[in-house]
Amino acid sequence: MRVPLINRSHTSPVPPTIYDVAERANVSTATVSRVFNNQTRVANATRERVLKVADALGYSPHISAQNLALQKTSLLAAVVPFETDFFYAQVMRGMQDALFDSDFDLTIYLAPEKRETKGQLERALQPGRADGVVLLSAELSDAQAEMVRASGQPLVLVDTHHSFFDSISVDNDEGAYDAVQRLLAHGYQRIAHITVAPEAPAPARNRRLGYEQALREAGQPVDPELVVYSTSYPFGFMEEAGYEAMQHLLALPELPDAVFACSDVQALGALQALRDHGLRAPDDVAIVGFDDIHTSRHVGLSTLRQPMREMGKLAVQKLLQRIAQPARTPSKTVFAPEYIARSTCGTAASSEATAAAIAL
């Protein structure tokens, strides 16, 4: 039978405290704390007495107090460059999926400009803010890596890599190389690339490297005129950036016959620019993106699929493993992007049907 304590001056129930349990069980508050934190330095008889008294009083230790005693927060932090980018939204959705049945919550630290990433990472690493951190799309210098290690906080990298830490990424070079090779195999010769400013994250740079490698191996020159950078905020991964880049390409004396865009969102903007000029893909210009966002399958965009949501889930799994086993050897997971053939690069309908079946 539970016996609530009564505040006689207000005749309203007052939750029992650790002091009430200690007094009734004739032990110290430190002993009660050790019992509820499952520490071993308590005799079995004493443990049973404390638990029996706590049950009778209806006492339940506050989770924040437990965490303070254990120097835990039950929070994981994610340092994210830009919250509305589809890639980051899907990765974070995967993180939330992985945390659904856990005792952890997720805190987001936004760094909408590259120069803000370091400060947000330092904030997330401060004692008492989180039990571990996921860092998205930000390369760590050796000095920054040493700073993280000195903090003692577990860290997992997504969309980038450092040998000190667990990491999850996609083979961006290979994906871009595959896309351009397929365009070449379809007979396209003048292939442009819509990318982002040179200071953008490593995935964009690596996709350009794959683009260039495929052209060189095919004996095609890398024409600087056909590589269009976007300086749109932030990082250029926006529909407006793709629209503006395609406008630039359409103003050239000689049009490209195909475009490989660094992201699906940019590719969607490029498609709109084509329509506004009375042109179509692939009849006038073929287009391939990178990501395979949900909208892409509805507009028939050929693209490279990366498992964004799965990457988020795996990041949390690795982080929880790292928290439980800090001495584990760092792991590196690299996913191979899957080419999804749809109508914007002029592939056969059978290929589109197969891709749609996979997407479902």
Judge if 21 and 131 occupy the same domain: no
> Do residues 112 and 179 lie in contact, with contact meaning Cβ atoms separated by under 8 Å?
no
Section 175-190 average pLDDT: 96
Beta strands in 33-165 (DSSP E): 75-80, 105-110, 132-136, 155-158
Judge if 302 and 312 occupy the same domain: no
Helix (H) or strand (E) holding 355: helix 349-359
pLDDT at 8: 35
pLDDT at 28: 79
In our burial notation (b when 16+ CB lie closer than 10 A, e otherwise), range 213-226 reads bbbeeeeeeeeeeb
- For 138-180, how does the pLDDT look when each residue is reduced to its tens digit (9 = 90+)? 889 899 999 999 888 999 999 999 999 999 999 999 999 999 9
Section 10-20 average pLDDT: 64
Provide the CATH number for the domain around residue 35.
1.10.260.40
Judge if 187 and 271 occupy the same domain: yes
Judge if 253 and 353 occupy the same domain: yes
What gap in Å lies between CA 85 and CA 196, rounded to an integer? 14
Q: Which of 70, 98, 113 is the endpoint of a domain?
A: 70
Section 337-356 average pLDDT: 66
Cβ-in-10-Å burial (0-12, 13-18, 19+) of 347 comes to buried
- 197: helix, strand or coil: coil
Number of compact structural domains in the chain: 3
pLDDT at 105: 87
Judge if 314 and 302 occupy the same domain: no
Judge if 149 and 204 occupy the same domain: no
> Do residues 108 and 147 lie in contact, with contact meaning Cβ atoms separated by under 8 Å?
no
- Phi, psi dihedrals of residue 76, rounded to the nearest 5°: -115, 145
Sequence-ordered list of residues with C-beta below 8 angstroms from that of 242, at least 6 positions apart, any chain: 194, 230, 261, 263, 265, 266, 267, 268, 269, 270, 273
What gap in Å lies between CA 246 and CA 224, rounded to an integer? 15
Alpha carbon 174 to chain centroid, angstroms: 20
Judge if 84 and 190 occupy the same domain: no
- Phi, psi dihedrals of residue 236, rounded to the nearest 5°: 80, 0
pLDDT exceeds 60 at position 7: no
Judge if 57 and 145 occupy the same domain: no
Judge if 181 and 257 occupy the same domain: yes
- For 264-322, how does the pLDDT look when each residue is reduced to its tens digit (9 = 90+)? 999 999 999 999 999 999 999 999 999 999 999 999 999 999 999 999 999 999 999 99
- Phi, psi dihedrals of residue 105, rounded to the nearest 5°: -115, 165
The closest of 222, 233, 110 to 176, measured between CA atoms, is 222
Section 334-351 average pLDDT: 80
Q: Which of 70, 105, 127 is the endpoint of a domain?
A: 70
- Domain housing 25: 5-70
What phi-psi label fits residue 151: left (phi over 0), alpha (psi between -120 and 50 degrees) or beta?
Answer: alpha
> Do residues 220 and 211 lie in contact, with contact meaning Cβ atoms separated by under 8 Å?
no
pLDDT exceeds 80 at position 357: no
Judge if 29 and 177 occupy the same domain: no
Judge if 161 and 177 occupy the same domain: no
- For 88-133, how does the pLDDT look when each residue is reduced to its tens digit (9 = 90+)? 889 999 999 998 878 788 999 988 777 788 889 999 998 888 999 9
Q: Residue 129 has what DSSP assignment? A: T
Q: Which of 70, 101, 118 is the endpoint of a domain?
A: 70
Provide the CATH number for the domain around residue 140.
3.40.50.2300
pLDDT at 210: 97
Sequence-ordered list of residues with C-beta below 8 angstroms from that of 32, at least 6 positions apart, any chain: 18, 21, 22, 25, 50, 54
- Phi, psi dihedrals of residue 332, rounded to the nearest 5°: -125, 120
What gap in Å lies between CA 311 and CA 85, rounded to an integer? 15
Judge if 205 and 348 occupy the same domain: yes
